[in-house]
Structure 1
Amino acid sequence: MEPVLFYGVPHGCSFGSIVALEWLNQPYRLCRIDMLDKPKGYSRFNPSQQTPALLLESGETLGESLAVLHHIAARDLDRKLGFAQGTPDFDRLNRALAFLHTELHAAFSPAWAAFKVADGAPEKDMLRTMGRNNAAHSLAHLDAVLADRDWLVGNHRTVADAYLVGIARWAEDLRLFELARDYPRLHAHLQKLEADEAVIFAHAIEDERPVKSSGRFQSHVTVEELLPRLAA
């Protein structure tokens, strides 16, 4: 069977891995993971129970967004979603992905924590303010980077752009910023990505709406159906 991506809802960062798989245009399947009520058996594939995770043809599971995205890109470098390891372009892509993960993704953590706190609790506003302040620095950096380029890395889309569109949306999901006003260049870049068929597909997948793949998506499968594929 084709590789299977475990993706998380609601609004997981695994969104970018779905986009990247669509751009790759190779057969794949999806397994939906409710991050608020993780299905029984998922820990056998990924002990951390985080998403994304990619079940490979060998039966082994690859976790962590950066590893999954680099793996997807390396499956066909002619698609130009990534670059050969050891090249300057690869280093630039790796740096961009690391920034998105360690700086931007992490910056939203306090705001996500506040999202789970009951209204009126004293720590809620403190966590939201912390998240907003943290994210503002990273978003400003991205807005500046996009002032003189069309894509995050190089002169074409890469897995870095796929990852970006999945996490930058949290700025408005969490009602922390109005991107069009606060970070117009970043907003314009995200709008360009939002018009992409793969991004439209990933939104529909998350929302469980009917959608036609522009790549080679095969079907959804359940954790239970995948248990026989576990590596020995």
Structure 2
Amino acid sequence: MVQTLMYGVPSGCSFGSIVALEWLGEPYRLCRIEMPADVQSEAYRRINPVGETPTLLTGTGERISESMAILHHLGARGIGKGLSFAQGTPEFDRFNRVLAFLNTSFFTAFGPLWYVFEHGLEGPEKDALRAYGAAKVTKAHADLEAMLGDKDWLLGDRPTFADAYFAGIARWTKYHDVVDRRDYPGLQRLFGKLEADPAVRFAHAIERGEPATSTGGFRGEVTLGEVLRQQALAA
């Protein structure tokens, strides 16, 4: 069975897992999950009871949810390519630290802003949440800029799955005009390099529903209904 990633659109954090699969080069399929319509549906909750993306169905039928868990699962097979590192090594500890920062501080900084965006708030409640979110996003960018330093990539001289995850979250500034990435030259440089990467361009095209050229192991898209039927047959 070919592993299948269920990714959320528009602009889900699952973007990083698509990039990671492209970099890894193993065969995989994609399943598009519209947010909020499909992701909260009874059908999708049969795959992921929490009703969030991404979810990875492995080649043996296991279900893995949460971006960090998926990236570590894929990373165990990407060590030879430098995409992750062997657990128990100092390199893995640094990788895990950066990935954890992205998964907590960087990701969650946008939470108040997304709430305002998705719920159409107005008045004092909107102002308070927007100010709080702006402060969190600004601090998260400053902290990550310091963490990056003068390195080419988040972990050094080559990209890892931490950079893939960053690519999917950093673009959220286009929805929330609270920081100018040009104020963080290291992050702006990193974001620019990632945007030029073939795997990132592929992930953008996939999300937009445009023709996409894979340089990895992409084996096409399947529907949620097809995934559910396959799960039923495998049960």
TM-score when normalising by structure 2:
0.94
Q: Distance in 1 between matches of 2:65 and 2:90?
A: 25
Q: Distance in 2 between matches of 1:119 and 1:48?
A: 25
CA deviation vs aligned residue, 1:143-178 (integer Å, no higher than 9, x gap): 122222111113311000000011011123222222
> Shift of residue 121 of structure 1?
3.8
Deviating beyond 4 angstroms after TM superposition, the runs of 4 or more aligned structure 1 residues are none
Opposite residue 27 of structure 1, the aligned amino acid is P
Q: Distance in 1 between matches of 2:150 and 2:188?
A: 14
Q: Distance in 2 between matches of 1:197 and 1:100?
A: 22
CA deviation vs aligned residue, 1:65-89 (integer Å, no higher than 9, x gap): 1110011111232121101111111
Opposite residue 7 of structure 1, the aligned amino acid is Y
Q: Distance in 2 between matches of 1:98 and 1:188?
A: 22
Q: Distance in 1 between matches of 2:204 and 2:175?
A: 13
Secondary structure at the counterpart of residue 46 of structure 2: helix
> Given the alignment of the two structures, is residue 126 of structure 1 paired with residue 103 of structure 2, yes or no?
no
Which sections of structure 1, spanning at least 5 residues, go unmatched? none
Select which of 161, 173, 195 maps to 1:171.
173
Could you tell me which residue of structure 1 aligns to residue 201 of structure 2?
200
CA deviation vs aligned residue, 1:73-129 (integer Å, no higher than 9, x gap): 112321211011111111111111100011010110000001023263432222111
Could you tell me which residue of structure 2 aligns to residue 190 of structure 1?
191
> Shift of residue 30 of structure 1?
0.3
Q: Distance in 2 between matches of 1:131 and 1:167?
A: 15
Secondary structure at the counterpart of residue 219 of structure 2: strand
Q: Distance in 2 between matches of 1:185 and 1:48?
A: 35
Q: Distance in 1 between matches of 2:171 and 2:128?
A: 21
> Given the alignment of the two structures, is residue 22 of structure 1 paired with residue 22 of structure 2, yes or no?
yes
Opposite residue 104 of structure 1, the aligned amino acid is F
> Shift of residue 40 of structure 1?
4.4
> Shift of residue 195 of structure 1?
0.3
Could you tell me which residue of structure 2 aligns to residue 71 of structure 1?
73
Could you tell me which residue of structure 2 aligns to residue 36 of structure 1?
36
Opposite residue 11 of structure 1, the aligned amino acid is S
Determine if contact 1:172/1:179 at 8 Å carries over to the other structure: no
Determine if contact 1:59/1:229 at 8 Å carries over to the other structure: no
> Shift of residue 135 of structure 1?
1.0
CA-atom RMSD, angstroms? 1.4
Secondary structure at the counterpart of residue 116 of structure 1: helix
Determine if contact 2:150/2:186 at 8 Å carries over to the other structure: no
For these two proteins, the number of residue pairs brought into alignment is 231
Determine if contact 1:117/1:124 at 8 Å carries over to the other structure: no
Opposite residue 3 of structure 1, the aligned amino acid is Q
Select which of 59, 79, 86 maps to 1:84.
86
* 1:106-117 correspondence to structure 2 within 5 Å: 106-117=108-119
Secondary structure at the counterpart of residue 162 of structure 2: helix
Determine if contact 1:16/1:162 at 8 Å carries over to the other structure: yes
> Given the alignment of the two structures, is residue 215 of structure 1 paired with residue 221 of structure 2, yes or no?
no
Determine if contact 2:137/2:179 at 8 Å carries over to the other structure: no
* 1:54-65 correspondence to structure 2 within 5 Å: 54-65=56-67
Report % sequence identity.
52
